[in-house]
Amino acid sequence: MNLVAFFDHVNPPVVDRWGPGSRIPAIVIGPFAKRGVVDHTPYETVSILSFIEKRWGIEPLAERDKKANPFRNALVFK
């Protein structure tokens, strides 16, 4: 077993005292996903909440979701 494959050589960005956690790769699939795009924007779990708040004009629940990147670079709404 190659243990090097489990090492993340990139330090995660500093968001708050808890940190963003581990990086999780994701695939966005659906009618609103941008086609043929590789999005390198760093997202985290609360990015989903941040997207919902910004999309429908809801005030952020906490500082963490206020600072999180929403999925604007991965989705298209026309």
Q: What is the pLDDT of residues 18-75, one digit of tens each?
A: 776 666 778 889 999 999 988 888 888 888 999 999 999 999 999 888 988 898 888 9
The pTM of this model reads 0.69
CB atoms under 10 Å from CB of 33, counted, come to 14
- Give the end-to-end CA distance of the chain in Å, rounded to a whole number: 47
Phi, psi of 75 (to 5 degrees): -125, 155
Reply yes or no on whether the pLDDT at 17 is more than 70.
yes
Is residue 4's pLDDT more than 60? Answer: no
User: Per the structure block, which two tokens stand in for 51?
Assistant: 């997207």
More confident residue, 1 or 10: 10
More confident residue, 11 or 56: 56
